[in-house]
Amino acid sequence: MVCAIPFFGWIACAILTVIAAAIVIVGGIVGLLDTANPADLDENLGDLHVNDPTRRGADILFVKGTWVYDSAHEGWNEIHPIKHCQKIGTWNGSWNESPIPEGSPTRWCEAVNSAGSPLTVAAQQDPENQWTIHPVIDGCRPVSEAEPSPIH
């Protein structure tokens, strides 16, 4: 152990302690000042809007994540981490005036779960699903669909 060595060990230990303390302080400051943003999850989410002075215009979001109890604050229940965030509407002042997206919250949850299921993700990796423009233009046929035999 370096700190057990008289004089030079003590100096080395003091320097290492100051460096470690500086790293912890900088890390704590960066952690406290780094606020999360739903665009961190999906860059295609774009700008999120809050209510204007008339209390209208905010984006309505569908957010899915792990619900946890965060005792670091005053005992808040939070979603850590957010695993899915999607704009689904715009707030117009009341639920009666705001266009509610089609489907119940259960239906939205089922759709998001289905889109991220291992079966769906695996199917997206199949060659016939690797098209860019449209399957008819630049897609390929599944292996089970052989090319028709040429006419002789």
Confidence of residue 148 (pLDDT cuts 50, 70, 90): low
The whole-number average pLDDT for the span 61-80 is 85
End-to-end CA, the chain: 85
pTM score of the predicted model = 0.55
Whether residue 16 is predicted with pLDDT greater than 70 in this model: the reply is: yes
CA dihedral 134, 140, 144, 148 (to 10 degrees): 100
Confidence of residue 147 (pLDDT cuts 50, 70, 90): low
The whole-number average pLDDT for the span 12-20 is 94
Within a domain: 131: yes
Within a domain: 121: yes
Write out the residue range of the structural domain in which residue 85 sits: 41-101
Please give the C-alpha separations between residue 104 and each of 59, 65, 94, in angstroms, as whole numbers: 18, 18, 17
Within a domain: 4: no
* 63 and 109 within one domain: no
